[in-house]
Copies of this chain bind each other. A is one copy, B any other.
Amino acid sequence: MEKKKLNVALVGYGFMGKAHSTAYLEAQRVFDLPVTFEMALIVGRNREACDSMRTQWGWKRYVSDWKDAVADPEIDLVDIATPNFLHREIAVAAAEQKKNVFCEKPLGLNVNECREMVGAVEAAKVFHMIWHNYRKAPAIGLAKRLISENRLGRIYHLRARFLQSWQIDPKTPWRWLHQKQYAGSGVNGDLNAHLIDMSRYLVGEITQVCGMMETFVKERPDKTGAMVKVDVDDACSFLARFENGAVGVIESSRMSTGRMVNNCIEINGEHGALYWDFEDMNSLYYFDNTEKPDRRGFKKIQALTAHHPYMEGHWSTNHALGYANTFINTLREFAISYDKNENPSPNFYDGLKNQMVIDTVISSVEREKWIDIGE
């Protein structure tokens, strides 16, 4: 049987461009997927960087203007890995050209942008996906399975944090992600976005939040050495209430010395508890409160065997997976959904819902009080 083939245009060639490229390269080798992804077109303004990436990674062609990519009749899928402020424009244009659209997170700069993007993909009836890759770690797949089996019972607590430290040095250069007009927000849209997505995936919808933001380093040098104002948050934490009665504590920072990619989640329920830390990404810690009292404890489950999610194509012999595999698994899920004529999960609707929480956190900080989501 002939596999469906999708010609991909990737807009962006930075860190995320490489992550997505690995997915296009590997997913169809590691897994026996119903869809073939053709690495057709790489798009970026920096001709040299982009062409070198084309050669090294095996993208077929290169164009410098995303508008050419979106208009290209050969292209079936536009994958947006640009700075945040370009997401909306590219996604809407791509949808209008009936391209399927993938987008990095956060979906847009704010809820209004996200609404427009959702409207565009709905109107065009194209497939859409947002790269919340952490959901696709096998250990998180196992967490979802345990929760779906009701192993935790009523959920009381969620605590999640995403701590980094790459900005600790005040001389760390100013980039687009330090300015609101390009990034929307700081760690709130960058890191909390992941935590919100994971929380919604595992616990449910958030109804109310109250936040705190801080910018410890108020200006940073640009390439010329000139100091530029940082108008987004270095750190953002918030308290949350969930529809199902659970309470949450969520925190992100780029100024947490000692912490690298410390993306953690813990959930405590009536019958059990779970925690996960991306820095030990292949393990899920599970506490089963229904066991005999003298032998209860957090169990470190290495979710790396044939019995674990996404493992039909990976080693399945307990040999470690890495960060790349979360992107590979995300693309696998798209291929399977696409083949069934369904949108994958997470998609632009998730991107919008995540953004509603992100924006409400900002409002709560400005107003110094609790706010209902969407209020």
Contacts and interface: CB of A to CB of B under 8 A. Distances in A.
A304 B323 CA distance: 12
Interface string A252-277: 01011111110000001111110000
Contacts of A321: 320, 322-323
A256 B155 CA distance: 10
Interface stretch (A21-29, A80-88, A97-105): A21-29
A315 B323 contact: yes
Interface string A276-297: 0011110100110100111111
Contact of A157 (B26, B239, B256, B324): B256
A123 B21 CA distance: 42
A29 B56 contact: yes
Interface in A293-327: 293-305, 307-308, 315, 317-325
Contacts of A145: 294
Contact of A289 (B28, B168, B268, B315): B168
Contacts of A165: 268, 289
B239 A156 contact: no
A241 interface: yes
A27 to B, nearest CB: 11
A336 interface: no
Interface residues of A, number: 90
Nearest to A137: B320
A63 interface: no
A257 B239 contact: no
B258 A272 contact: yes
A261 B318 contact: yes
A295 B299 contact: yes
Contacts of A322: 319-322, 324-325
Contact of A370 (B283, B295, B368): B368
A240 to B, nearest CB: 8
A338 interface: no
B261 A257 contact: no
A301 B307 contact: no
A182 interface: no
B294 A307 contact: yes
B273 A257 contact: yes
A235 interface: yes
A270 B56 contact: no
Interface in A188-242: 210-212, 214, 216, 235, 237-239, 241
19 contacts: A29-B57, A146-B295, A156-B214, A157-B255, A165-B289, A249-B249, A257-B268, A257-B271, A257-B289, A259-B273, A260-B318, A261-B320, A278-B320, A281-B320, A298-B300, A299-B299, A320-B323, A321-B322, A322-B325
